[in-house]
Amino acid sequence: MTLATHDRRIERGGYMNREELLDAVAARTHMSKRDINAALDATLATIADSLKGGDKVTLVGFGTFQVKERAPRVGRNPRTGQPMTIEARRAATFTPGKALNETLGPENKPK
């Protein structure tokens, strides 16, 4: 990652966008950004297709993507404040793996 990339992330509050991710992977692998972009697109599409099919996707050491059913619930209309029913839905979730949590530091270890 270049200093300019790092500075842009700090200005935005510390998150990394897709372009910066491509830059960081290119710097580590010496692959072209075009090839990395194609691989990232294929990876994300494969994960999405697996989740859509009801499968769980586990990347050992990194984490697990899965779909969870969200029950219907009562919420509030943000404009009027009136109660409203939020329908049941499926939502993608991510649970970080042990190795990823350990990389983040001791404060992130499960209790």
Assign domain 56-111 to its CATH architecture.
Answer: Irregular (4.10)
Asked whether 20 and 27 are in contact (CB, 8 A), the reply is: no
Give the pLDDT score at 14: 76
Is the pTM higher than 0.85? The answer reads no
Q: Where are the domains of the chain?
A: 1-52, 56-111
Question: Which of 95, 9, 111 lies closest to 60, judged by CA?
Answer: 95
Residue 25's φ and ψ, nearest 5 degrees, are -70, -40
Tokens of 11: 């200005």
Express as a percent the part of the chain with pLDDT over 90: 77
Is pLDDT above 80 for 66?
yes
Tokens of 40: 């990232």
